[in-house]
Structure 1
């Protein structure tokens, strides 16, 4: 019966972390590493779905190493052809101890049906200690045939345990060590070295070769090499090698150990390319202080303070037409118009002109503000991620000045609207003007036409009332002046409040635009960076 391999919890979590690394590392991590990680995930997913009752052991070696003879010696059958042809093994042969559930696994390994053999079907009695073994005789890895060489490489990567068959003459072959052995660091538990053809060596020579081979393997990163001297001719060491293989088969752990070793190797290579270092301390989002700093810089770049100051001046100048004491205002008509010298006749156009000019003139400062934000956030990042954050910040930089211009132009105040108290004060002041004019008429009538007025207007000609009329006129003038002064104070207070309101609204709009066009793209990249390094940390845990 076919069962599914159940990995220990750590492997599942690490495979999940690798999936996340591949997902968010696209375009950031080296493409070769991404391809290898994708292939490992695919291989792990496929292998974990297949039989956990079978352990795939591959015999790998160069031409003339006696690999096929050793394969036959372990299986006890003449299954794989041997001879002096180069290469001897052209196709992979498989011998299975325990057929149940092995077919899907052999299909995955792409072993041809005519090269599949069952140990139990060939003999009435098999080696029970090897029950669950799928033994592969791979094509020679140094084959001159590209097809078989590629097949050997593929199956070496898929096998749960690899037995490297070395011969005394070429055990230190540079091509073997360069292409394969140096890649085995961390694979000690799923790698065995068989120094074959031991029958050709004297006891002292074999001992020296074993010492030399162990030292060579350690220098190349195989920390605890497992080396077994064998001879397919005399049978020496075959049982020892079978015992090593049987131990791996009985534990049913080789497939998991191989995936863990492959995962560890890949994790180390990724960490070398993008070490954790200080990257984990990089922010995962744009904090409030940096948001405010960006908003401040952009407000300065578009001239928000200048617009606010202009608005305050405009507010004060406009108020003079409404709440100023009419008499001085009428006298000022005979003087040069200060509004014309200030070009404030059309306040709306003035404010829009200031806003538009500020944005277009300060586009370099806008860019500097964006750069400052990106540099501050990516200070501790890997150069690849630092570049990515900068690009994210600048992704809409060309549209930013225009967006700020359009948004801030809409903030221009309604110049056809005046506060209600301006209307009330204007009515009051004109009432005072009317009262003063009435006093003037009274005085004139009393001084110029005493006793000549009709009986109904005798009071106007009464000289006794004139002092009181004069006092009333003086009071009216005083009230007018005082109301003008008080109105001016209220106007200044209102202008200040209007400036604060305008600057607050402009700042709110600047913050909203910067959040959409700068902060959001940057935060997406920061979140991606944080996810990547969190997954990388989980992968290495």
Structure 2
């Protein structure tokens, strides 16, 4: 009597197949360069297969009879269909092309076209109700070429249809049911496909009851070790008809429930998710912020400002501003003494900043590429702690995507606002005029004192008629007092102006550094942070899709 172990349980289809497929589509879109290309290729093929299958007849269930040479697969196909449709015999391999028997032709044509079944190998039962087979209405039964065929073409066709069938029935014979090639190439890939896989141990008429029980137990144990939790095993004999009704009952159950196609896609999704989880684990993966935080933005701006020399440029400008102001707002007498010095920069102890100051005076600013690269690298390292290596590399590449142009862009941007240090503020010119007015007053006073001393005190001669006023010795003390006042006023003006210069230099430096930082921050935003944030968004979307596809 035929035996059957295991059942195809009424597994409830998890809700949200469409959502899971959409998540896989998102993973395929976001994964290139980050996920194993083989896994992405498999995901893309699954999407195409799922899209095609879901558009085709939902009223038909595609069942593929697969097996090796000599397993009796074609004989079993004929026994289930009740017709001699597929050739049988001793010639190996017997089945060169896939044969199809359809119970209920309406709507099956596009499905058979998609399966690439040749017209001359398509057959139909005259009535879905003949021989009490109403339960099989909607069944598309395929007799595949032998998967171990020596013909490469038929071998490929078998592999293709095994991948797309809603339900796969593996036909094994008692002598080769543990064949390593079958288990290695196919069975080990069926973990999680229990609901859409059936194993038929055929030719059991050759076994005694004791041997049959031993073979079934051994096969079940083998399948469990290979990852199938509840393998369905049916024992048949295509020659005697033993167990064929049991197989029909299993097929009828799958056809009546009309869930095999969905279950097959779900099982394929689960297997794909397992491969994705292995290649790109989602557990323990840190969530990434959607944007770069303010602290890292400021840190990047600071580092780039150092790379372009903003503090040094500001200090140089302040120093040169102060030195140049001495030519205009200092005490004239002191300026005349220092006028012999050829270069006012010589008065500064600036060391290596001298060349930079001279360059600044010419309006040129340059950035150090190595320091710029270090600043960008530090940002990406801080954002990718705990990430998978592929995503760390992706964020780093995004951060450095424009780093080659960044030094030049920084230099050009800051050169535009680098001040011309040879410019003279208007108040410097006004103060210079005031100082020289005081000098003229002092010179006039000295001339008055000299005239008064010569003609009024020492009586060196008769005072010219026009200079009688200047020879009045009685006014001499007042003139001396005036001279001292002029000198004091000039000195006070020089001291006050120097204080204003110091304040002005500090203000100019602050304004320049603030504007430079603003422009550096804008370049950092457009050339570094925006690409990084796009990659962080891609990272978060990828893992959200990976979690969604798990259902």
Which residue number in structure 2 is paired with residue 485 of structure 1? 495
Is the partner of 2:126 in helix, strand or coil?
helix
Provide the C-alpha distance between the structure 1 equivalents of 2:144 and 2:428, rounded to a whole number of angstroms. Answer: 98
1:140 matched residue in structure 2 = 146
Deviations 1:465-521 (A, max 9, x none): 433333332222222212211111111111111122222223333333333443344
Shift of the 28–368 alpha-carbon distance from structure 1 to 2, 3 Å rule, reads same
Secondary structure of 1:269 counterpart: helix
Q: Which among 90, 101, 108 is matched to residue 102 of structure 1?
A: 108
What is the CA–CA distance in structure 2 between the aligned matches of 1:314 and 1:80, rounded to whole Å?
99
Structure 1 counterpart of 2:383, from 377, 380, 383: 377
Aligned to 2:72: 66
Question: SS where residue 136 of structure 1 aligns?
Answer: strand
Distance in 1 between residues matched to 2:128 and 2:288, nearest whole Å: 63
Distance of 2:232 and 2:303 partners within structure 1:
65
1:114-160 C-alpha deviation (Å, 9 max, x unpaired):
11111135985651111111111111111111111111111111110
189, 194, 215: which one aligns with 2:195: 189
User: Deviation of residue 307 (structure 1)?
Assistant: 1.7
8 A Cα contact 1:120 1:126, kept in partner:
no
* Contact persistence 2:69–2:148 (CA under 8 A): yes
Secondary structure at 2:417's aligned position in 1? Answer: coil
RMSD (Å), alpha carbons: 2.7
Q: Which residue of 2 aligns with 1:351?
A: 360
Map of 2:237 onto structure 1: 231
The answer to whether the Cα contact below 8 Å between 1:24 and 1:532 also exists between their aligned partners in 2 is yes
Give yes or no for contact 1:59–1:138 (8 Å, CA) kept in 2: yes
Select which of 520, 531, 535 maps to 2:545: 535
Residue 477 of structure 2 is aligned to residue 467 of structure 1: yes
Question: Quick check: 1:429–1:480 contact (8 Å CA) kept in 2?
Answer: yes
CA contact (8 A) 1:72 1:79 kept: yes
Aligned-partner SS, 1:120: coil
Distance 1:525 1:241 in 2: 53
Residue 55 (structure 1) aligned with residue 50 (structure 2): no
| Distance of 2:166 and 2:342 partners within structure 1 | 98
- Equivalent-residue separation in structure 2 for 1:352 and 1:19 (angstroms): 58
Structure 1 alignment gaps of length 5 or more = 1-6
Q: Which residue of 2 aligns with 1:261?
A: 267
CA contact (8 A) 1:51 1:101 kept: yes
| TM-score normalised per structure 1 | 0.90
In structure 1, how many angstroms separate the alpha carbons of the residues matched to 2:521 and 2:121? 71
Deviates more, 1:432-441 or 1:16-25: 432-441
1:27 to 33, 56, 65: 33
Name the counterpart of 1:242: 248
Q: Matches of 1:125 and 1:100 in 2, distance apart?
A: 20
Aligned mates of 2:45, 2:184 — CA distance in 1: 22
Compute the displacement of 1:96 (Å).
1.0
What's the offset of the Cα at 1:252? 1.4
Query: Is the 1:119–1:126 contact (alpha carbons within 8 Å) kept by the matching residues of 2?
Result: no
Shift of the 519–347 alpha-carbon distance from structure 1 to 2, 3 Å rule, reads closer
Q: Structure 2 unaligned runs (5+)?
A: 1-12, 457-461
TM-score normalized with structure 2 length = 0.89
Measured after TM superposition, the shift of residue 452 of structure 1 is: 4.5
Task: Check 1:270–1:459 CA distance in 2 against 1; reply closer, same or farther (3 A cut).
Answer: same
- CA distance in structure 1 between the partners assigned to 2:536 and 2:362 by the alignment: 37
Contact kept? 1:192, 1:226, Cα under 8 Å: yes
1:317 is matched with which residue? Answer: 323
Aligned partner of residue 81 in structure 1, secondary structure? coil
Deviations 1:426-458 (A, max 9, x none): 233233333333333443344434495658x76
Aligned positions of 1:382-461 closer than 5 A: 382-450=388-456, 452=463, 460-461=470-471
**Alignment of structure 1 residues 274-293 onto 2, 5 Å:** 274-293=280-299
For the 8 Å contact 1:307–1:355, the answer to whether it is kept is no
Give the alignment partner of residue 512 of structure 1, picking from 517, 522, 525. 522
**Contact 2:363 2:418 survives alignment (8 Å):** no
Q: Using a 3 Å threshold, how does the CA distance of structure 1 residues 518 and 353 change in structure 2: closer, same or farther?
A: farther
User: Could you tell me whether the CA contact under 8 Å between 2:320 and 2:357 is conserved in 1?
Assistant: no
Structure 1 residues 323-342: aligned runs within 5 Å? 323-334=329-340, 338-339=344-345
**Deviation by residue 1:200-252 (Cα, 9 ceiling, x = unmatched):** 22222222222221111111011111112222233232222222211211111
Counterparts of 1:334 and 1:228, CA distance in 2: 112
Following the alignment from structure 1 to structure 2, what is the Cα–Cα distance between the partners of residues 443 and 346? Answer: 50
Task: String of CA shifts for 1:410-429, please: whole Å, max 9, x gaps.
Answer: 33213353323223322332
The one of 157, 166, 179 equivalent to 2:163 is 157
Q: What number of residue pairs does the alignment pair up? A: 531
